[in-house]
Amino acid sequence: MNRTTEQKFMDLLKEQSAYGEAIGLMAWDMRTKAPRKGIEGRSEVLGVLSQKVHEIQTSPEMREYIDELKGNVDDSVLERALEEAEETYDKTAKIPTDEYRAYVTLQSKAESMWAEAKENNDFESFRPYLEQLVEYNRKFAEYWGYKNHRYDALLHNYEPGVTVEVLDEVFPKVRKALTDLLNQTQEAPIQPDPSVLEGHFPKEKQAQFSEAILARMGYDFEAGRLDETVHPFAIGLNTNDVRVTTKYDEKDFRTAVFGTIHEGGHALYEQNINSKLAFTPLADGTSMGIHESQSLFWENFIARSKGFWKSHYELFKTYAPDSFQSLPLEKFYRAVNEVKPSLIRIEADELTYCLHIMVRYELEKALIGGEIEVKDLPELWNQKMKDYLGVVPENDAEGLLQDIHWSGGDFGYFPSYALGYMYAAQLDAKMRESIDVDKWVEAGDFKEIKNWLTQNVHQYGKMKKPLEIMNDVTGEGLNPDYLVHYLTEKYKKIYGF
């Protein structure tokens, strides 16, 4: 075992991590604080820094260290870091450096143009950028290779082990179960009254309540912060700097409150990765599906539960406007859990949420497969929304322009939301075997819940692969039955069917 080579390898990973943190900080700034006129120049800087990361990942030194150390180390972190570095090397080396830099620069410009296009309801201004992004992703998929479907190469970036074949088997079954449930709720004799939630709710007060809940969840504000943005996200610069953003709607507090809790779930994951993994590629979530399992667990299984509002309703009313002061808890709880097909994914109720994901999955799978083109998207989007949710956007701003993901080139990402929801239901069921979750939630004390998640998921970062975590914790792989059971039991009680 060559200690000198080990140190050189770890130093190279640390250099790569340092560039990655700088890129992450710039990305956060561009989405939150940066002036619009600075975007183009910042995009060029991001391209240069990303090219540097690409060069490190594919450098002769990286290849040399991997070859020399592979199979010759007795440290589990180093061994797993070598595996991750080799996979990245093999994948990244297939993309020419100049193409990679051009692609990263395009991503940054496209995100800015998307925000402008969304604001102006102007898909045509964004379309040329999206066409280029799609073409790059088709090309990259060919570089990387795949067995059955070009989209599989992109899925692997976000959810290793999941393929089109798996999704095309699971999603239709879940869609039928959810559609049946949706129909039952819409025809039920008992209907929540969402009008009780209406009223002007100043964003400053929403922010104060959101911060209070984040703190109760265990989010460390000395290792993070909460900011406003167009499209909510969490970003981990390192385990001691994990930032949360949210979007405020003064006519509907649910957007910010549940959005903040969702992003807080992501942040708790990254704040609690084992410090031994710092400055390695392992100091990150193991997959976007597992990442989403954490955010959706907190947003839905915890924050939309009756127990949560039993313990937090009085606190909520200290920030809420007068219209909430005499509103009974039961009416409030039922209203925040109303099931109603809607146009906006991030505002969707938990029963219809996966249907939004399936619309996006089917469209981007067809885009990457070359079955459709970008120009076809508005019409196809509207048709699928009508078919799956029974609603049709009046414009592209509330249709295919609503999400930031495609503007960042994140094709293959969307399925992780639905997979994460399924994972969350499995983890919730397993957690309840050893923890009285309802008791702790009703007490407003989340320490035991957070500790269980850290022990079983968070601490490992990328030391374990996604399906390895699910098998180790729950004893089985992906099983959508838990999610269907959870939603069925919850909404039977709320709607009385």
DSSP secondary structure, 409-458, as one string = T-TT-THHHHHHHHHHHHHHHHHTTTS-HHHHHHTT--HHHHHHHHHHTG
Residue 388 CA to residue 363 CA, distance in Å, equals 13
Structural domain boundaries in the chain: 3-122, 164-495
3-state helix, strand, coil split of the chain in percent (to 5) is 70, 5, 30
Q: Which residues partner with 227 through β-bridges? A: 245
Our measurement of the distance from residue 280's CA atom to the centroid of its chain's CA atoms, rounded to an integer in Å, reads 21
Residues with Cβ within 8 Å of 116's Cβ and at least 6 positions away in sequence, in order, are: 36, 122, 125
Structure tokens at 166: 């798996």
- The answer, yes or no, to whether residue 439 has pLDDT greater than 70, is yes
Enumerate the active-site residues.
Answer: 263
What is the spatial distance between Cα 454 and Cα 406, in angstroms, rounded to a whole number? Answer: 31
What is residue 2's predicted lDDT score, i.e. its pLDDT?
60
The token pair that represents 329 in the structure block:
């808890």
Q: What is the DSSP string of 237-281?
A: EETTEEEEEE---TT-THHHHHHHHHHHHHHHHHHTS-GGGTTST
- Residue identified by tokens 């089109």 is 164
d(CA 441, CA 248) in angstroms, rounded, equals 25
Considering the domain delimited by 164-495, tell me its CATH architecture: Orthogonal Bundle (1.10)
Residue recorded with tokens 């009085």: 314
Q: Is residue 266 marked as binding?
A: yes
Q: Are 284 and 273 in contact (CB under 8 A)?
A: yes
Structure tokens at 51: 């090219």
What is the four-CA torsion angle of 337, 341, 346, 350, rounded to 10 degrees?
A: 40
120's CB contacts (< 8 A; 6+ apart) are none
What's the pLDDT band for 454 if we cut at 50, 70, 90?
very high
Is position 231 annotated in a ligand binding site? no
**Which of 156, 148, 110, 149 shows the shortest CA–CA distance to 415?**
156
Helical pair 3-32 and 76-92, crossing angle rounded to 10 deg:
60
* Model pTM above 0.85: yes
Structure tokens at 29: 């700034």
Quick check: 110 and 407 in contact, CB under 8 A?
A: yes
Identify the band that residue 225 occupies on the pLDDT scale cut at 50, 70 and 90. Answer: very high
Residues in Cβ contact with 114 at an 8 Å cutoff, skipping those fewer than 6 apart: 126, 129, 401, 404, 406, 407
Residue 179 burial by Cβ neighbours in a 10 Å radius (0-12, 13-18, 19+): middle
DSSP-assigned beta bridge partners for residue 244 = 226, 234
Tell me the per-residue pLDDT of 109-138, one tens digit each, with 9 for 90 and over: 999 999 999 999 999 999 999 999 999 999
Name the nearest CA neighbour of 292 among 233, 245, 209, 361: 233
Phi, psi at 412, each rounded to 5°: 105, -5
Q: How far does the chain reach from its first CA to its final CA, in angstroms?
A: 65
Q: What is the pLDDT of residue 108?
A: 87
Q: Using the predicted structure, report yes or no on whether residue 393 has a pLDDT greater than 90.
A: yes
pLDDT tens digits, 327-366 = 999 999 999 999 999 999 988 999 999 999 999 999 999 9
Average pLDDT, the chain: 95
For the cut 80, the answer to whether the pLDDT of residue 248 exceeds it is yes
Instruction: Give the pLDDT band of residue 207 (cuts 50, 70, 90).
Output: very high
The answer to whether 398 is a known ligand-binding residue is: no
Q: Is 326 exposed, middle or buried (0-12, 13-18, 19+ CB in 10 A)?
A: exposed
Across residues 318-326, what is the average pLDDT? Answer: 96
**Which one-letter amino acid corresponds to residue 149?**
H
pLDDT at residue 267 tops 70: yes
203-226: average pLDDT: 98
Could you give phi then psi for residue 126, rounded to 5 degrees?
A: -90, -25
**Residue 242 backbone dihedrals phi, psi, to 5 degrees:** -120, 110
How many Cα neighbours within 13 Å face the side chain of 50?
A: 26
**In this structure, what token pair is assigned to residue 489?**
């039991």
Q: What is the mean pLDDT of residues 383-389?
A: 96
pLDDT (0 to 100) of residue 405: 94
Distance in angstroms (rounded) separating the CA atoms of residues 391 and 362:
17
Model confidence at 40, pLDDT cuts 50, 70, 90, reads confident
pLDDT at 97: 87
